[in-house]
Amino acid sequence: MTLRISELHAVEILDSRARPTLAVTLATADGTRVRAGVPSGASTGSREAVELRDGDPARFGGQGVSRAVAQVSGEIAEALAGRDFGSAADVDAALIELDGTPTKSRLGANAIIGVSMAAARAEAAARGAELWESLSAVAHTPPRLPVPHFNVVNGGAHAANALDFQEFMLAPLGAPGLAEAVRAGAEVYGRLKARLAAAGHATGLGDEGGFAPAIDSPEEVLGLLVEAIEDAGYTAGREGVAIALDPAASEFWHEDHYVVAGERLSSDELIDRYEEIVGRFPVRSIEDGLAEGDWDGWVRLTARLGEEVQIMGDDIFVTNPAIITEAIDRKVGNSALIKVNQIGTVTETLEAMRICRDAGYTRMVSHRSGETEDTFIADLVVGTGAGQLKSGAPARGERVAKYNRLLELADIQPELPYGLA
């Protein structure tokens, strides 16, 4: 297979939060044209690959990406166009070399990941395959439909309420297939809205489509979730609909302590709180339960709860193969959240997932709070067989686009297995 890039072009578009991002178009000599939309986070890890933003307050409050657009259509296009690549991985290697920085800050991680996603699509087209099939072949992983994790209550950096925990997700583990899981997510979402309204809470939405009520207690939210799950006719638990949390604790960590609903907590006190929560509510997964700098706390959290609960690193791991390797070594967590733009190329994302797999760490592919209508991550999670996806609420187009892509795949490819890996 040869990939000859004939044209590379980017345009500044809007993400789901009215902030600029990039759409990249890549054409190959054989006439294929593919496109990619670049996601962007709000509660970012400090060691993520670095987005290039204009910083010009006269445009989009400094958030413009015209410089990143110019990198794609200028320097990157000049370096890549006309060259023959053996694979998308070769394109990624060329991008990393051209950028020359450890954090992709010169060309911009947003510029680079857009080209990388487009290259993965071009490779799939060259193989005459769907993106998920092509990624499955590249990663040497059997494809699988994932359990969707629906973020139905938003707090933290994703909502203007006083709720410190960022994400409360529904995990329909008991559903026999993808369509039933999506249905469970949507039905419980509807019942939750009714419960919130009946209790006098606003039902406005946060950045990922979950409700953002004026509640500050995580336990109160968990209680409402259990009630909504039962209202919808499901069992609250692993045999029905379980719950996954992303407290995103780096956001409420202050040098040496945490603050939850105004209460000051040490790492161990917060771990005690999680232990209590896991005892009272059907919580199956805790992502970023502690802050990215609190590695010693993470070791204790994993030792205490890792047998019964998925202890997942997001801000602390940032999809970085070297950091994940160190974490495995130090017994930090037992699972990794996977976001393509945290590391900046698809190839390095697949490498991070391989390292997890080899070490017995579970993987969950993830959207960002700022999204486009691109459904790349749906194909990524299927092709890598990771078994878990989080793409926000079962509401708002940019979130639902990913779940709908999975529903289509489930329909077209009924032989695909479904469930946790």
Catalytic residue annotation:
208, 339
Vertex 392, ends 389 and 397: CA angle to 5°?
Answer: 110
Q: Which of residues 155-194 bind ligand PGA (CB under 6 A)?
A: 166
Q: Which of 412, 407, 350, 351 is nearest to 383 (CA)?
A: 350
207 touching Zn ion, by CB under 5 A: no
- Of 138 and 163, the one with the shorter C-beta distance to ligand PGA is 163
Among 29, 42, 50, 70, binds ligand PGA (CB under 6 A): 42
Q: Count the site residues for ligand PGA by CB under 6 A.
A: 11
String marking each residue 240-279 x if it binds ligand PGA according to CB under 6 A = ------x-x-------------------------------
String marking each residue 282-321 x if it binds Zn ion according to CB under 5 A = ------x-------------------------x-------
The helix-helix angle for 88-99 and 346-359 (nearest 10°) equals: 110
Q: How far is the CB of 247 from Zn ion (least distance, A)?
A: 9
| CA 390/CA 150 separation, integer angstroms | 6
Stretch that binds Zn ion, among 86-94, 148-156, 247-255, 384-392 (CB under 5 A): 247-255
- Of 173 and 248, the one with the shorter C-beta distance to ligand PGA is 248
Q: How far is the CB of 232 from Zn ion (least distance, A)?
A: 26
Q: How far is the CB of 187 from ligand PGA (least distance, A)?
A: 24
Q: How far is the CB of 156 from ligand PGA (least distance, A)?
A: 8
369 touching ligand PGA, by CB under 6 A: yes
Q: How far is the CB of 287 from Zn ion (least distance, A)?
A: 5
Q: Which does 44 bind (CB under 5 to 8 A by kind): Zn ion, ligand PGA, none?
A: ligand PGA
- Of 145 and 248, the one with the shorter C-beta distance to ligand PGA is 248
Q: Which does 54 bind (CB under 5 to 8 A by kind): Zn ion, ligand PGA, none?
A: none
Tell me the C-alpha to C-alpha distance, in Å, between residue 35 and each of 121, 122, 185. 8, 9, 30
Among 20, 37, 41, 240, binds ligand PGA (CB under 6 A): 41
Residues whose CB is less than 8 angstroms from the CB of residue 140 and which lie 6 or more positions away in sequence, other chains included: none
What's the chain look like in SS3?
CCEEEEEEEEEEEECCCCCEEEEEEEEECCCCEEEEECCECCCCCCCCCCCCCCCCCCCHHHCCCHHHHHHHHHHHHHHHCCCEECCHHHHHHHHHHHHCCCCCCCCCHHHHHHHHHHHHHHHHHHHCCCHHHHHHHHHCCCCCECEEEEEEEECHHHCCCCCCCCEEEEECCCCCCHHHHHHHHHHHHHHHHHHHHHCCCCCCECCCCCECCCCCCHHHHHHHHHHHHHHCCCCECCCCEEEEEECCHHHHEECCEEEECCEEECHHHHHHHHHHHHHHCCEEEEECCCCCCCHHHHHHHHHHHCCCCEEEECCCCCCCHHHHHHHHHCCCCCEEEECHHHHCCHHHHHHHHHHHHHHCCEEEEECCCECCCCCHHHHHHHHCCCCEEECCCCCCHHHHHHHHHHHHHHHHCCCCCECCC
Q: Which does 379 bind (CB under 5 to 8 A by kind): Zn ion, ligand PGA, none?
A: none
Q: How far is the CB of 167 from Zn ion (least distance, A)?
A: 7
368 touching ligand PGA, by CB under 6 A: yes
Indicate the pairing of strand 167-171 with strand 147-154.
antiparallel
164 touching Zn ion, by CB under 5 A: no
- Of 314 and 351, the one with the shorter C-beta distance to ligand PGA is 314
Q: Which does 42 bind (CB under 5 to 8 A by kind): Zn ion, ligand PGA, none?
A: ligand PGA
Among 16, 21, 44, 349, binds ligand PGA (CB under 6 A): 44
Q: Which of residues 304-363 bind ligand PGA (CB under 6 A)?
A: 314
Among 99, 246, 251, 348, binds Zn ion (CB under 5 A): 246
Q: Which does 16 bind (CB under 5 to 8 A by kind): ligand PGA, Zn ion, none?
A: none
Site residues (vs ligand PGA, CB under 6 A)? 41-44, 166, 246, 248, 314, 366, 368-369
Site residues (vs Zn ion, CB under 5 A)? 246, 248, 288, 314
